[in-house]
Structure 1
Amino acid sequence: MKVEVESSRIVKPLYDDDGGAAPAPWPEWMPLSVFDTVTYDENIAIIYAFQPPNPPSAALELGLARTLAVYREFAGRLGVGPDGRRSVLLNDAGARFVEAAVDAPLAVAVPFRPSPEVKRLHPCIDGAPVEELLQVQVTRFSCGSMVLGFASHHRVADGQATASFLVAWGLATRRMPVAPPLPVRDRPTRFVPRDPPLVEFPHRDTEYKAPTQAKKRDANGADEDDDEEELGAAAHHKIKVHKLHFTKDFVARLKARASSVLPPSSRRGYTTFESLVAHLWRAVTAARGLGAGETTRIRISVNGRARMRPPVPRDYFGNLVLWAFPRCDAGDLVSRPVHHAAELIHRAVAGVDDAYFRSFVDFAASGAVESEGLVPTADTNQVVLCPNLEVDSWLGISFYDLDFGGGCPFYFMPSYLPMEGTLFLVPSVLGDGSIEAYVPLFENHLEEFKKICYNIA
């Protein structure tokens, strides 16, 4: 696929009296919250595909400018504020807008499967960091179809906040009001520690870890860390991403199987998420050949908006995610039925409740992170997670509600991310309750995984 970049420019917020935001205040520093600073320090890219007719780039650009006037963080720049805290400078410096073209029909040019090719459909997020916290690429095809590649910095917004921005962009492009509801933008003041603080849970080695030790040298004087980086780079090329489609019927049968052991009087069954992640955890563990005596765990994102008391508004713009870490002996996990894994996941996620979120806020604000030099366990440098997994679920997030005027997307996917063991769950665009999973594994493990991934046991 040959992608020709036709233009690249900065789009700044547009403040007007025709449905836009109020005139911009002076530039100001907005400190990141403890949830922003503990998450991944990286750009995340997603890809949309739209059938014709599609709006001209001028309309998309105008809509983006009007939306940035409401969501100012995406037009700002990351830095260190006057108080020494990591912050976003709300200076309206703008987002990057790239126009590109492919001289072929979309159905012929784009591989609608995990492939490094899809990375050409969004601005580059690999390598040296970029100033812009938001970058978009609009690629048009000879058939009239359009692909939108959207890349944003994770420390500015989590998945739910990003989806809200995208929906607002669609409204603005259609000349509709971006709000209500307005985004809730009080991250510097919303999460204050209690007085007195109450740290009830172990946050070291959960959200935080000790810093990496200084480089060690082997007997020949070479840096051992450099050797590990070379091994990581070599392993990276052996990782392949496989896309699975779980039909509505498969999901229903899996949930019924997982919940079959619950007593008839139980008012709950295992959710779609719990059942499907349990199934994938067991299948990946078996495909990796892990056995008794080796512990495997999953890192599961937990949205705190509805869990904190009082609940945080759904339109809160920022990060509000912590993680659950169910774990199990690999041999035990594979040998026992799927309901065992589902129960481990259910209990771990249920434990990340209001008390846990409040405890985290108290710990993060206690000064221990700074005095001990702790760093987040959300590490973008990990290429291989084996024997562990990480699951990022986009189920229930309104990514499909983006409409620039020609209708909602007919395809949506994460960018190609060959991070072994990092799984993405995405609701199918079919809208029938089916689910797509993106599973990156080593090639030799992937072949075994393909043989067993649809077996319900």
Structure 2
Amino acid sequence: MKLRRESSRIVKPNYEGDIPPSNTARIPLSVFDKVTYNTHIAVIYAYRPPIPPNATIEQGLGKALAEYREWAGRLEADDKGDPLILLNDHGVNFVEASADCTLDQTMPFKPSPALLSLHPSLKEAKALLQVQLTRFTCGSLVVGFTAHHLVADGHSTSNFLVAWGQACRGIEMSPRPLHNRAIFAPRDPPLIEFEHRGVEYMSRNLNKVYPLFQTSADDDDIVVHKAHFTLEFLVKLKAKASSGSGRNRPYSTFESLVAHLWRAITRARGLNGFETTKVRISVNGRSRLSPRVPNEYFGNLVLWAFPSAKVKDLLREPLSFAAKIIHEAVAEVNDSYFKSFIDYASSRVKEEGLIPSADMDKSVLCPNLEVDSWLRFPFYDLDFGGGSPYIFMPSYFPTEGMMFLLPSFIGDGSIDAFIPLFQDNVASFKQFCYSLDI
């Protein structure tokens, strides 16, 4: 597949005849924005014809940016060095490209460096959002989309994408975003009930010291394996994870699958039985905070659960053992925990010189894992006017141990998992991946 870049320009908000708002407004980042990953995240969409022309998609983007102005702004810092979003309407990068083949000739898209050509570069991008439209000779379209994580989490970003499609189709954007990032005020006096140092935040010095584990590797050493789990397999896995648990309700499909993958990857890695392994799991705070934060809230509102276990216990005990650890760790990230974090982040982080533990610069997470679940986000609802995407997937992120889970495009309840592994561990992982008997 050879791509040719046809054009590149900036798309700015289109206020459709209304008086443009001030372009000097500044929005301070919330404590949840500041603690997340300071990087762009890229995703890939593929559409079969008929598809509206690029001009229609571009016009819809301008309309959506008028509602979601943060994406058209720029990240800056105030006099104290605190990060903020300047709503200057400088716009987003918009690239048009063409491929010299049909989409079918490139399918299925494999997680490989070739995906990086389907979206603008993530490196040193000043624009907070970037789009690349690549047309294939058969009339199919691939949309490469990158968005800066400090601006919004996956929930908010997927809401924006749905609104972009609605704008392209000429229908009202719904739901309208809630833009108030100042709603997370600390309590007076603060009530810090949980440990946050060493969890969401860490010392700058500790960031440079990893005496026990490898933290970097060449990309050639890491392979992103795509695993497909059928609905039938997931039903059996859920039943096995819940068997003998003594719970009135079974563990969720997510809990069961993550428990299974945690055990399969740990076994494939061949870790020492006395090592501790943990999983970083995103927890959406919108439904956990009291009062509840509306789903329309635009920004980041995520903390993490960190279930952990000794390798020997994880592999010796049944699947329900891992599912129980995961369930309990996620349940503990509740209203009290979120409010404790707000108080801590508002009062201690600067004075103690801490930095976020969320770090995308590592290329190896072993002996740990990270799970980014997109199972409940409406990414498949991005419809420009020709229907839902044929494919949705993350771009190429070769960070060993950083998994992405998303609904399969088949639409039958199956799940695709994108799992970066050391090349030497792939064969072993494949043996364990689809086995219910490990």
Corresponding position of 2:30: 33
Secondary structure of 2:20's match?
coil
CA distance in 2, matches of 1:69, 1:14: 6
* Partner residue in 2 for 1:185: 179
Q: Does residue 331 in structure 1 map to residue 312 in structure 2?
A: yes
Partner AA of 2:175 in structure 1: P
Whole-Å Cα distance in 1 between the matches of residues 72 and 208 of structure 2? 37
Tell me which residue corresponds to 2:43: 46
Deviations 1:227-247 (A, max 9, x none): x9xx86644320000000000
Task: Return the alpha-carbon distance in structure 1 between the equivalents of residues 249 and 207 of structure 2.
Answer: 49
- Structure 1 residue 358 corresponds to structure 2 residue 343: no
1:242 maps to which residue?
A: 225
Match for residue 160 of structure 1? 155
Output the amino acid matched with 1:330: V
Give unmatched runs, 5+ long, in structure 2: none
2:133 corresponds in structure 1 to 138
Query: Once structures 1 and 2 are overlaid, which stretch shifts more, 346-355 or 110-119?
Result: 110-119
Deviates most, 138-147 or 368-377: 368-377
What is aligned with 1:220?
none
Question: Is residue 2:20 matched to residue 1:23?
Answer: yes
Structure 1 residue 34 displacement after superposition? 0.4
Q: Are the structure 2 counterparts of residues 110 and 7 from structure 1 closer, same or farther at C-alpha, using a change threshold of 3 Å?
A: farther
- Equivalent position amino acid for 2:37 in 1: Y
CA distance in 1, matches of 2:206, 2:222: 27
C-alpha distance in 1, partners of 2:70/2:208?
36
1:422 partnered with 2:402 = yes
2:4 maps to a residue whose letter is E
* Cα 1:249/1:239, change in 2 over 3 Å: same
> Which residue does 2:245 correspond to in 1?
262
1:183-213, Cα deviation, whole Å (9 max, x unpaired): 01001x1100011110000000000000036
Aligned in 2, Cα 1:389/1:118: closer, same or farther, shift over 3 Å? same
In 1, the alpha carbon distance for the partners of 2:206 and 2:394 equals 33
Counterpart among 344, 349, 362 of residue 382 in structure 1: 362
The answer as to whether partners of 1:78 and 1:86 remain within 8 angstroms in 2 is: yes
Displacement of 1:83 in angstroms is 5.4
Of 192, 195, 220, the match for 1:199:
192
User: AA paired with 2:254?
Assistant: F
Query: 1:98-151 CA deviation, whole Å, 9 max, x = no partner?
Result: 0000021011035522111111100011x4x21100000000000000000000
- With the length of structure 2 as denominator, give the TM-score of the two structures: 0.96
- Contact 2:281 2:371 survives alignment (8 Å): yes
TM-superposed CA distance for 1:452, in Å, is 1.1
Task: State the shift of 1:365 in Å.
Answer: 0.4
Task: Please state how far the C-alpha of 1:85 moved relative to its aligned partner.
Answer: 1.9
Cα offset, 1:215, TM superposition? 8.0
Q: Secondary structure at the match of 1:392?
A: strand
Please give the residue correspondences for 1:254-403 in structure 2 after superposition, counting only pairs within 5 Å. Answer: 254-263=237-246, 266-366=247-347, 368-403=348-383
How far off its partner does 1:267 sit?
3.0
- In 2, distance between residues paired with 1:233 and 1:395? 29
Give unpaired runs (5+ residues) of structure 1.
Answer: 217-223
Identity of aligned residues (%): 55
Per the normalisation by structure 1, the TM-score is 0.92
Deviation at 1:23, TM superposition (A): 3.4
- Can you list the C-alpha shifts for 1:310-368, whole angstroms capped at 9, x where unaligned? 111101110000000000000110111100000000000000000000000000001x2
**Is the 1:111–1:117 contact (alpha carbons within 8 Å) kept by the matching residues of 2?**
no
1:447 has 2:430 as partner: no
TM-aligned CA distance change 1:307 to 1:181, over 3 Å = same
The amino acid across from 1:445 in the alignment is N
Contact 1:29 1:81 survives alignment (8 Å): no
**Shift in Å at residue 182 of structure 1?**
1.1
Amino acid across the alignment from 1:412? F
Residues 175 and 408 from structure 1, CA distance in 2 versus in 1: closer, same or farther, beyond 3 angstroms? same
Match of 2:87 in 1: 90
| Deviation of 1:26 (Å) | 3.8
Kept in 2: contact 1:240–1:442 (CA 8 A): yes
Counterpart of 2:67 in 1: which secondary structure? Answer: coil
The answer on whether the counterparts of 1:16 and 1:23 sit within 8 Å (CA) in structure 2 is no
Partners in 1 of 2:319 and 2:134 — Cα distance?
A: 43
What residue identity is the alignment partner of 1:67?
A
Match of 1:151 in 2: 146
Q: 2:141 is matched by which residue type in structure 1?
A: M
**Deviation sequence 1:353-396 (CA, Å, 0-9, x none):** 00000000000001x21112100000121110100000000011
Shift of 1:214: 10
What is the CA–CA distance in structure 2 between the aligned matches of 1:337 and 1:49, rounded to whole Å? 40
Please give the per-residue CA displacement for 1:378-433, whole angstroms capped at 9, x wherever unaligned. 01211101000000000111000110000000111000111000000011111111
Instruction: Name the counterpart of 2:418.
Output: 438
Q: Give the distance between the partners of 2:191 and 2:106, measured in 1 at CA.
A: 56
Q: CA deviation at 1:28?
A: 0.7
| Residue of structure 1 in register with 2:168 after alignment | 173
| Aligned twin of 1:106 | 103
- The one-letter amino acid paired with 2:328 is R
Answer yes or no: is the 8 Å Cα contact 1:136–1:148 preserved in 2. yes
CA-to-partner distance for each residue in 1:68-121, whole Å, 9 max, x for gaps?
000000000000135542000000000010000002101103552211111110
Across the two proteins, how many residue pairs are aligned to each other?
436
In the alignment, is the contact (CA less than 8 A) between 2:201 and 2:357 conserved in 1? yes
**Cα contact 1:110–1:118 (8 A) shared by 2:** no
Distance 1:232 1:358, change over 3 A: closer
Q: CA deviation at 1:22?
A: 6.5
